[in-house]
Amino acid sequence: MKQKAWTALLLCAGLILSLAGCGSQYGDYTTEAAVTHYAEIQVEDYGTITLALDGQAAPETEANFVALAEEGFYDGLTFHRIIEGFVIQGGDPNGDGTGGSDTAIKGEFRDNKFDNPLSHVRGAVSMARSQKYNSASSQFFIVHQDSTDLDGAYAVFGYVTEGMDVVDAIVADAQPTDRNGSIQPEQQPVITTVTVTEA
């Protein structure tokens, strides 16, 4: 019995990172089969946030993020918007919420007639956009605490598997200047690199 229990524990430890179950808080939303890429976001002075990206629930969104990461678009950009209990948002070349890449993508969420079952629970990674449904570009956000009121209106495309302590530290240090979570440029945490690997 002890050997079986130990084997089960090892299997569970391996599967948690792939979101396949064993009590993973994301098991209801993303399965191992749906994960097409992993991304490591290196944040200067903080550490690494690892994401499992779901290419089934939001294929265009996931492909856009992967393409931008692979071309180095995110390297040197920042998290410009930080709201405790809500999100940290980055990926804007202007650093103020107004910028993006040269490409806008389809909003892969229910309100835009797209079936995306992923939920904005703690650790979800989702695309920011303007009021226009198909305006998402490069800006993304990581959910700090469950914000399921966003479900159906924004495109979740993965979940943090490691590094929520990094997100928590970023939030703890943040000094927003307004209720929208705006951070002064010199205080914005810097994304040094985003590295993507196939699952």
Strands 47-54 and 156-162: antiparallel
In the predicted model, what is the mean pLDDT of the chain? 88
Taking the C-alpha atoms of residue 115 and residue 172, their distance in angstroms, rounded to an integer, is 35
Average of per-residue pLDDT across 91-114: 97
Closest CA to 109 of 86, 88, 135: 135
Percent of the chain at pLDDT > 70 equals 84
Closest CA to 148 of 127, 129, 122, 172: 122
Taking the C-alpha atoms of residue 124 and residue 141, their distance in angstroms, rounded to an integer, is 8
User: Predicted confidence band at 33 (pLDDT cuts at 50, 70, 90)?
Assistant: confident
**Residue 129 Ramachandran class (φ > 0 left, ψ -120 to 50 alpha, else beta):** beta
Q: Which residues does residue 79 pair with via DSSP β-bridges, in sequence order?
A: 90
Average of per-residue pLDDT across 11-18: 35
- What does the radius of gyration of the chain's CA atoms come to, in whole angstroms? 17
Residue 29, pLDDT score: 67
Taking the C-alpha atoms of residue 107 and residue 129, their distance in angstroms, rounded to an integer, is 9
Average of per-residue pLDDT across 138-159: 98
Residue 88, pLDDT score: 98
Provide the CATH topology of domain 27-198: Cyclophilin (2.40.100)
User: Cβ(88)–Cβ(94) under 8 Å?
Assistant: no
Q: How many CB atoms lie within 10 A of CB 17?
A: 15
Chain segment 41-96, per-residue pLDDT in tens = 999 999 999 999 999 999 999 999 999 999 999 999 999 999 999 999 999 999 99
Domain boundaries of the chain, sorted by first residue: 27-198
Percent of the chain at pLDDT > 90 equals 83
**Residue 19 Ramachandran class (φ > 0 left, ψ -120 to 50 alpha, else beta):** left
Q: How many CB atoms lie within 10 A of CB 9?
A: 11
Chain segment 169-199, per-residue pLDDT in tens = 999 999 999 999 999 999 999 999 999 999 9
User: Predicted confidence band at 28 (pLDDT cuts at 50, 70, 90)?
Assistant: low
